[in-house]
Amino acid sequence: MRIKKQLKIYLAQELKKHLKYVLLGTGIIIGLFWYIHTNIFQFFATVPTIGIEMQVPENNVSIEDTFTVGLRLTDQEVAATDVFIEYDSNFVSYALEEGAETGISQLPIDYFSMPPVKEEVIETDTSLKRLHIVLVSWNQIEDPDNPFTQLNFVFHAKSEGVATFTLLKNELQFVGNDSQKNPIIFEINEETVLTKSVQIGDIDQVTPTEEITPVPTESPAVTVTETLTSTPTLTETPSPIITQIANPEEVQLDIRLRLQGIVGKPVAVGSGISMKLSLISEDKSNSYEQDVLFQPSDSGVLTGTMILKSAYTGPLYKLLIKGPKHLQKRICEAHPKEAVGGTYNCTKANIQLKKGNNNIQLENIIILAGDIPEQDSVINAQDIVFIRQSLGSKNVSDISRGDLNFDGIIDSQDYSMILNALSFKYDD
């Protein structure tokens, strides 16, 4: 009896001990699950994906009729769009080409600000044209749990055929905010259909062509004429002339330039404005890079010096200038000019260096702002949204990134500057 009682006590103690281990193990498993879910999964989480449905008429469109190509955007609240639609101008034309003020309609009504930031038709070397649309919203979706916006673009049917519309994925951007309210570019689902076609005219009403019976023709007689050729005279090939390559020299570039929006001495530049300079010869055999600190003057002109201890002065060069919040500008001459700010463009290098000081006077052209950090060589909807959302911000980090004219505040001037520079969009 006593043994039986001791056995029960022993079993109860063992059960209690093992139960403790089971509970401890369960707690560890639950803790690991929570950690993986809240940390590891977030670490590997991808950028949110936006749903895009391209909509075109299902039935044939009669010649001279108008119709719409739609984009239905779901799953994300969109703050800005940068859209390129390619179409064949042999069959259709966009509303702007027909004299309309705009070809855009939207749902919800007035969600995106109108007129649009950009609405233009871009010509190419072929019959394909590109519709470029940039829209920015100052509003919020009424139902954030089920966000959707609808954009419709009006086209005119010109001639019979199959009109194809293609969303250019590499140029396409839909911008929103992450959980910290920072602008992000939504991912586009790999399964998104980017091309749709519309039948213009009635393909069943094709006029038959009369069958033509070919008439045989008599082959003409061929006369063979003997051609005498003389033995070519051998000429002596002259020996190549060997040009002596000059030794490298110490070269200094004294540069004066203007940045968009700076008309007086800016207040928020600290010790100066650092810019990346690249000097490249026409054949690309010689190149030199340097970060140069530019100092502003009361007139708004900035001056900086690029010193090269060992540079070849024989080749002709071009100069690339990349500002901290700016599009890169390519310069091909020492004293360039432009009629309209930001329009200077060149391709052929024509800067001749000499030993010692070289004056590079760029104050008659403008280097455009808008490619804000982190820079990606393009002004896009993400840059626009950041400045729009930071208007009036006193945050030091925001100002260092979005204050384009260096006046110590992000305001409507900065927003206007980036919208104006959007016409140029890319680095030179």
Instruction: Give the whole-angstrom CA distance, residue 369 versus residue 63.
Output: 44
Contact 417, 402 (CB under 8 A): no
- Fold for 50-200, please state it: Immunoglobulin-like (2.60.40)
Instruction: Give the whole-angstrom CA distance, residue 277 versus residue 279.
Output: 7
pLDDT along the chain (428 residues), means of 10: 57 59 53 47 63 93 94 90 94 95 92 89 93 87 85 95 93 82 81 92 56 49 46 52 64 95 86 93 92 93 94 94 95 94 91 94 94 89 88 90 92 89 83
pLDDT at residue 32 in the model: 47
Partner residues linked to 137 by β-bridges: 112
At 274, list the tokens.
């650092």
424: three-class secondary structure by DSSP:
coil
Contact 170, 75 (CB under 8 A): no
Q: How many other CB atoms are there within 10 angstroms of residue 396's CB atom?
A: 8
Of 289, 293, 296, 315, nearest to 304 (Cα)?
Answer: 293
Q: How many other CB atoms are there within 10 angstroms of residue 248's CB atom?
A: 15
Burial of 256 (0-12, 13-18, 19+ CB in 10 A): middle
Partner residues linked to 253 by β-bridges: 306, 358
The 8-class DSSP code of residue 278 comes to: E
Instruction: Give the whole-angstrom CA distance, residue 115 versus residue 129.
Output: 22
Instruction: Give the whole-angstrom CA distance, residue 85 versus residue 250.
Output: 51
Instruction: Give the whole-angstrom CA distance, residue 327 versus residue 102.
Output: 29
Measured at the CA of 391, the angle between CA 387 and CA 392, to 5 degrees, comes to 145
Burial of 194 (0-12, 13-18, 19+ CB in 10 A): middle
Q: How many other CB atoms are there within 10 angstroms of residue 393's CB atom?
A: 17
Task: Please report where in the chains the tokens 């673009």 appear, as a residue.
Answer: 153
Measured at the CA of 427, the angle between CA 422 and CA 428, to 5 degrees, comes to 120
105: three-class secondary structure by DSSP:
strand
95: three-class secondary structure by DSSP:
helix
- CA-based end-to-end distance of the chain: 98
Instruction: Give the whole-angstrom CA distance, residue 349 versus residue 320.
Output: 11
Measured at the CA of 416, the angle between CA 112 and CA 271, to 5 degrees, comes to 135
What residue ranges do the domains of the chain occupy?
50-200, 249-421
Contact 242, 383 (CB under 8 A): no
Contact 292, 304 (CB under 8 A): yes
pLDDT at residue 23 in the model: 53
Q: How many other CB atoms are there within 10 angstroms of residue 428's CB atom?
A: 19
Partner residues linked to 81 by β-bridges: 135, 174
Instruction: Give the whole-angstrom CA distance, residue 256 versus residue 277.
Output: 13
